[in-house]
Amino acid sequence: MLQGRRILLIIAGGIAAYKSLELIRRLRDRGMSVRCVMTKAAHQFVTPLAVASLSEDKVYSELWSLTDESEMGHIRLSREADLIVVAPATADLMARMAAGIADDLAATTLLASDKPVLIAPSMNTMMWAHPATQANLAILTSRGVNRVGPGAGDLACGEVGSGRMSEPAEIIAAIEGHFAEVALAGSDKRLAGRRALVTSGPTREPIDPVRYLSNHSSGKQGHAIAAALAALGAETVLVSGPTQEPTPTGVTLVPVETAQQMLAASEAALPVDIAVMAAAVADWRVDREANQKLKKDGKGPPMLHLVENPDILATLSRRRNDRPSLVVGFAAETENVVGNAVAKRQRKGCDWILANDVSPSTGTFGGDSNTIHLVEAEGVESWPAMTKREVATRLADRIAATLGGPH
Ligand code: C5P
C-alpha cells in the first residue's frame, strides 16, 4: 500500500527531530520516496547531511536560494508529493500554518499546497496545553489537517505530560491509515468479485421476555471491517447483533439477536471467500427462555440453567465443501494475549486470529482504538496501536493481498 508513495517530510526545529531520521529510514524501507524540507531551527537538532543521506535526496531549506528555487520551487515541492508529513510539528510552525504565514520555505510550501497534511506535534506540555496552540490545532483540524499524537510521557525539557512526538512506528501507522482511506474512497477494488461475511456486535440471549444476557461489544470493529472490505469491492454481508453503529455503505446488513440466529444467518450467507468473525458471541444461553416475565415469588432468586452456544467461527472453519478460503477470528484476551491466541487459532481451525488485549485499562471495549497481534500459521505480527478503522483497512488490505487481485 505504501510502495511508491511520495512523502514530503517537513522537519521543524524540535528535539524530536532526531526521531525524524528513523522515520525517513523506515519510510524508505517501505518503498516510499521521501523529500525533506527543514526549517532553519531544525538545523540545530539534526544535520541536513544526515537527512540527505537517509532520504537519498537533496534537502530543501531556503526560500530565497537561487538554486533551490530554480531547481525545485516551493510549488513543485508539494505538487510532487502524495502526502505532506510535518514531524516534528512545533507550536511555532502550527501557529504559522494556522495563520497562513509564509515566512520560510516550510511554511510557504504548506500554504502553497492543496495536498493532504499529517502533523506529528512535539512540544513542551505547557505549550501544547496553551489555549493559543489548542486554538491553532482546532483551526488546522477544521481545515482537514490530520494529526498523530502527541503522546504523554517524559519530555526532553524534564517535565512529564502530553507533548511528546509519536514514535516513528505510530507515524507510519497514521500514514498507512491515510493511504488506506484514500484507497477506500478511490479506485482500489482488489476484492471485486469476492464475497465476504462479517459478524459484529454482541449477541443477546433471552432469559425471559424482558431480560437477556449480553456483553459490552460496540460493534465498532466488525462494522469497520465490513466497511473496509466493501470499499475494496467485496460483496459484503454483515451479520450483526444489536449495536448503535450505522450500517456501512454498500454492505448488506442481516440483524440478529442470539448466537443461534447469528450462526443460521452466517451459514445462509455461504458460500463466501472471506469470513471475518468479529462478533462477541455470548458463550452461554439460558436453556429455556421463560414465556412470562420471571417474578419475585418469595422463594428466592430463580435458577438459570445455562447451555453452551454454537461456536460460529469453529463451525465455519470446519465446513467441508464450502469452507471460506480465508477464515479470520478475533481473540479478546485479558492475559497472555499472544499465547492464548496461538492456541485458539488451532482449536478453532481458522486461518488468522487477530488478538487484542481487552483489559479494562486498555479501553478497547467500546473505545476507538485497538492494539492487534496478527497470528498466522507462519507466526505472529504485532501492529502498533491504531484506531479500529485503521485496523479494518489494514486487515482488508492484507486480505486483498493474500487472495490476490480481483476474482
Ligand atoms: O472463544 P472466544 O470467544 O474467545 O473466540 C473468539 C472468536 O470466536 C471471535 O472471532 C468470535 O467472533 C468467535 N466466536 C464465535 N462463536 C462463538 C464464540 C466465539 O464465532 N460462540
Which ligand 1 atom minimizes the distance to the CA of 316?
Answer: 20
Superfamily, domain 6-178: Flavin prenyltransferase-like (3.40.50.1950)
CB-based contact 138:132 (threshold 8 Å): no
Give start-end residues of each CATH 3.40.50.10300 domain in the chain. Answer: 189-403
**Is residue 196 lining ligand 1, measured as CB closer than 6 Å?**
no
CB-based contact 279:200 (threshold 8 Å): yes
**Is residue 331 lining ligand 1, measured as CB closer than 6 Å?**
yes
CB-based contact 200:241 (threshold 8 Å): yes
Which pLDDT does position 77 carry in this prediction?
A: 83
Residues with Cβ within 8 Å of residue 106, at least 6 apart in sequence: 10, 12, 37, 38, 39, 86, 93
Which pLDDT does position 72 carry in this prediction?
A: 58
**Pocket perturbation via mutation, ligand 1, pick of 313, 338, 345, 372 by most ligand atoms within 8 A of CB:** 313
Which pLDDT does position 324 carry in this prediction?
A: 98
CA of 391 to the centre of ligand 1 (A): 18
CA of 348 to the centre of ligand 1 (A): 9
**Is residue 337 lining ligand 1, measured as CB closer than 6 Å?**
no
CA of 189 to the centre of ligand 1 (A): 29
Note if 350 is an active site residue: no
For the chain, percent helix, then strand, then coil, each to nearest 5?
35, 25, 40
**Is residue 341 lining ligand 1, measured as CB closer than 6 Å?**
no
Residue type, 18: Y
CB-based contact 103:78 (threshold 8 Å): no
- In a structure prediction context, what are the per-residue pLDDT tens digits for the chain, which is 407 residues long? 677 889 999 999 999 999 999 999 999 999 999 999 999 999 999 999 999 999 999 999 887 765 655 555 667 787 889 999 999 999 999 999 999 999 999 999 999 998 999 999 999 999 999 999 999 999 998 888 989 989 877 766 677 778 899 999 999 999 988 888 777 676 678 999 999 999 999 999 999 999 999 999 999 999 999 999 999 999 999 999 999 988 988 899 999 999 999 999 999 999 999 999 999 999 999 999 999 999 998 889 999 999 999 999 999 999 999 999 999 999 988 899 999 999 999 999 999 999 988 877 766 666 677 889 999 999 999 998 888 888 999 999 999 999 976 56
Instruction: Report the alpha-carbon distance of residue 383 to residue 356 in Å, rounded.
Output: 10
Which pLDDT does position 179 carry in this prediction?
A: 87
Q: Read off the DSSP letter of residue 162.
A: E
Which pLDDT does position 68 carry in this prediction?
A: 57
R_g over Cα of the chain: 25
Measured CA distances, 41 to 84, 101, 171, 242 (Å): 19, 17, 22, 53
Instruction: Report the alpha-carbon distance of residue 92 to residue 14 in Å, rounded.
Output: 10
Which cell is 55 given?
Answer: 532520504
Return the residue whose CA atom lies nearest to atom 5 of ligand 1.
Answer: 331
Return the residue whose CA atom lies nearest to atom 21 of ligand 1.
Answer: 311
Which cell is 148 given?
Answer: 498523530
Which cell is 95 given?
Answer: 501557529
> CATH classification of 189-403 is 3.40.50.10300, yes or no?
yes
Which listed residue (112, 157, 182, 254) is catalytic?
Answer: 157
Residues with Cβ within 8 Å of residue 118, at least 6 apart in sequence: 83, 84, 85, 86, 145, 146, 147, 148, 171, 174, 175, 178
CB-based contact 351:377 (threshold 8 Å): yes
Q: Which of 173, 93, 94 is nearest to 134 (CA)?
A: 94
**Is residue 276 lining ligand 1, measured as CB closer than 6 Å?**
no
Give start-end residues of each CATH 3.40.50.1950 domain in the chain. Answer: 6-178
**Is residue 217 lining ligand 1, measured as CB closer than 6 Å?**
no
**Is residue 263 lining ligand 1, measured as CB closer than 6 Å?**
no
SS3 109: helix
Which ligand 1 atom minimizes the distance to the CA of 348?
Answer: 8
Instruction: Report the alpha-carbon distance of residue 344 to residue 379 in Å, rounded.
Output: 14
Q: Which of 204, 194, 190, 177 is nearest to 237 (CA)?
A: 194
Residues with Cβ within 8 Å of residue 3, at least 6 apart in sequence: 30, 31, 32
Which pLDDT does position 371 carry in this prediction?
A: 87
CA of 231 to the centre of ligand 1 (A): 25
Which pLDDT does position 155 carry in this prediction?
A: 67
**Is residue 312 lining ligand 1, measured as CB closer than 6 Å?**
yes
